[in-house]
Amino acid sequence: MTQIWIRHGQCIANLQDKNYSFSSDEQDVLTEKGKAQANITALYIKNVFAPKTCLVSSTLTRAKQTSKIINNIVNESDNNLIVHEKLLIEKTNIESLADCAKRINIFLQKLNKNENYLIVTHGHVLQAIASIVLNLNARVSESLIFNNCGLTIIDNNQKLIALNSISHFSKDLLT
């Protein structure tokens, strides 16, 4: 099982430098750049990681929009391959990184070991993944910043292959 974790594409709240955990619906949509990021990411994944994959998405709009773009290209489908998993929602003001890591560990245990996964989520969840896989303390993990549509790849032995890889982007798509 390979897991490719993807932070959602750029959304309007990203441009406004808001705490977008609590952004309004109109701030939670992808920008044109965010859509382009998702498109380029999907093409890269399709060319480098050829097999079709199960796609899992956070329930928030920006992640669902990113997932839909990726699924249409990677799996050549817009059907029910997208599973919205509540375990992948973004943190709230009361959730610590340790609590998020506990949620993610529960989610990881539910994954089918014979499937490959694309998982579209949020920065805080990716910090928790780094904490789990690299055994980092909270202070170090919380200092990590993840780019929109950056790729964090974990192999079938739970070893980190890439952390926030953005090599598939031209400079104009970096955020």
Binding residues for substrate: 7-14, 62
Beta-bridged to residue 154, according to DSSP, are 3, 160
Please state the residue numbers annotated as binding site. 7-14, 62
C-alpha dist (Å) from residue 76 to 67, 79, 121, 162, 175: 12, 9, 21, 25, 27
Q: How far apart are CA 171 and CA 118, in angstroms?
A: 24
Give the amino acid at 147.
N
Q: How many residues does the chain have?
A: 175
Q: Which helix (H) or strand (E) holds 152?
A: strand 151-154
